[in-house]
Amino acid sequence: MTSDKDAILAELENGVKGLQQEVAVEAARKALAAGMNPVEAIENGLAKGIREVGEKFAKKEMFVVELIYAAEIMSSAIQVLEPEMKRLSAQRNVVGRMVLGTVAGDIHDIGKNLVRIMLEASGFEVRDLGKDAPTDSFVSAAKEMGADILGASSLMTTTVDVQKEVVNALRDASIEAPLLVGGAAVTEEWAKEIGAHYSSDANNATVMAKQLIGKGG
């Protein structure tokens, strides 16, 4: 049984890093058929593959077009897993309202989309600003929807500073809702330094978000 699971995780990882869309998508279907938790399939399979692609890209062993294709493959496999993610943590009552986006200058949105899926599944109404979201849009969306909490994702060392701009813009607009930050370039120390709250992954983001709005268990 464990070896079946390991084989599926390896196929998920290899489908992404080997740029084989059918392998990754088929492995996602197999993961569901085998009763695997979709979050585990993403974290221990697909995400391992895409991070390896990122390392190869950094070492100039892969081209940007391959990076783009690997990201597309990952997204299409996530689409297969998404309904089960939602079903597993489905909750009817709205626990809170959240504005979420990838900061200006940054177009990475796979992780942010996972965070949105998990938040929605655990009862949050989410206003998704998408990627490369202007700092002002965090403020205007928070006012419009009466957000209880905001979230800003950033994947690059060159765009983490923009999270600080979001903190400042919220403060200038007298918005007191907490800001959750995450993404590969973000650390707990950075979050503390800018007066935000850190979350390491999509699962943890839902736990943190609930705690921050006083709905944590």
Q: Which of 15, 96, 182, 213 binds ligand B1M (CB under 6 A)?
A: 182
- Is 158 an interacting residue with respect to ligand B1M (CB under 6 A)? yes
Restricting to residues 58-117, name those near ligand B1M by CB under 6 A: 58, 64, 67-68, 71, 100, 105-112, 114-115
Q: How far is the CB of 38 from ligand B1M (least distance, A)?
A: 12
Q: Which stretch binds ligand B1M (CB under 6 A): 11-19, 27-35, 162-170, 182-190?
A: 182-190
Secondary structure of residue 41 in the 3-state scheme = helix
Q: Which of 57, 82, 140, 207 binds ligand B1M (CB under 6 A)?
A: 57
Q: Which of 14, 122, 163, 199 binds ligand B1M (CB under 6 A)?
A: 199
If the CB atoms of residues 106 and 148 are measured against ligand B1M, the closer one turns out to be: 106
Q: Which of 173, 175, 184, 207 binds ligand B1M (CB under 6 A)?
A: 184
Q: Residues 12-16: contacts with CB within 8 Å, 24+ apart?
A: 12/41, 12/45, 12/46, 12/49, 12/77, 13/45, 13/46, 13/48, 13/49, 13/52, 14/49, 15/46, 15/49, 15/73, 15/77, 16/46, 16/49, 16/50, 16/53, 16/70, 16/73, 16/74, 16/77
For residue 56, what are the CA distances in angstroms to 70, 177, 183? Answer: 12, 39, 19
- Is 157 an interacting residue with respect to ligand B1M (CB under 6 A)? yes
Please give the size of the binding site for ligand B1M, defined by CB under 6 A.
Answer: 40
- Is 196 an interacting residue with respect to ligand B1M (CB under 6 A)? no
Secondary structure of residue 98 in the 3-state scheme = strand
Show the tokens assigned to 99: 């504005």
Restricting to residues 10-39, name those near ligand B1M by CB under 6 A: none
Task: Let me know the angle formed at the C-alpha of 184 by 81 and 83, rounded to the nearest 5 degrees.
Answer: 10
Q: Which of 95, 202, 212, 213 binds ligand B1M (CB under 6 A)?
A: 202
Instruction: State how far the Cα of 203 lies from the Cα of 38, in Å rounded to an integer.
Output: 12
What DSSP character marks residue 61? S
Q: Which of 62, 194, 205, 212 binds ligand B1M (CB under 6 A)?
A: 205
Instruction: State how far the Cα of 101 lies from the Cα of 108, in Å rounded to an integer.
Output: 10
Instruction: State how far the Cα of 49 lies from the Cα of 26, in Å rounded to an integer.
Output: 15
Note the residues at the interface with ligand B1M (CB under 6 A).
Answer: 47, 50-51, 53-55, 57-58, 64, 67-68, 71, 100, 105-112, 114-115, 151-153, 155-158, 180-185, 199, 201-202, 205
